[in-house]
A = this chain, B = another copy of it.
Amino acid sequence: MRRKPGTLIPIEIAILSAALALLNRGEEEFHGYQLAREIKTANSDRFRMAAGTLYKALNRMEQSGLLSSRWEDPSSPDVEGRPPRRLYRLTADGEAAYKESTRVATDPSLQAGWQPL
């Protein structure tokens, strides 16, 4: 669905929120598969669904500056035995956008159609 510029859709809020949670645990970077697993455990079985959608969302969010990414070095020893990952990191813009979205969600006067009593 079309969206008003500057607003976040649920999957984006979920991603930003997960990223902030990880950040608070000291993990500055995360990768798509990791998020996919968390989303899987969260809403049980819609994992197949999530994968494609998720990577598209991550890509979009990087395009729009909410996230930045780098590939991990495939020749690094801790990549042994699995394919290399693309590591994402929350940008200042991303953090701000998330905070704004929660603010809007919390303050009724910012909701569409609000009227003073």
A residues with CB within 8 A of B? 70-72, 74-75, 83-84, 86
Contact = CB atoms under 8 A, between A and B. Distances in A.
A12 to B, nearest CB: 21
Nearest to A79: B71
Total copies of the chain = 2
Contact of A71 (B70, B75, B86): B75
- Sorted from nearest, which 7 A-B pairs have the closest CB atoms? A71-B74, A83-B83, A71-B75, A84-B84, A74-B84, A74-B74, A71-B84
A86 B75 CA distance: 10
Interface centre among A70, A74, A86 (most CB of B within 10 A): A74
Contacts of A70: 75
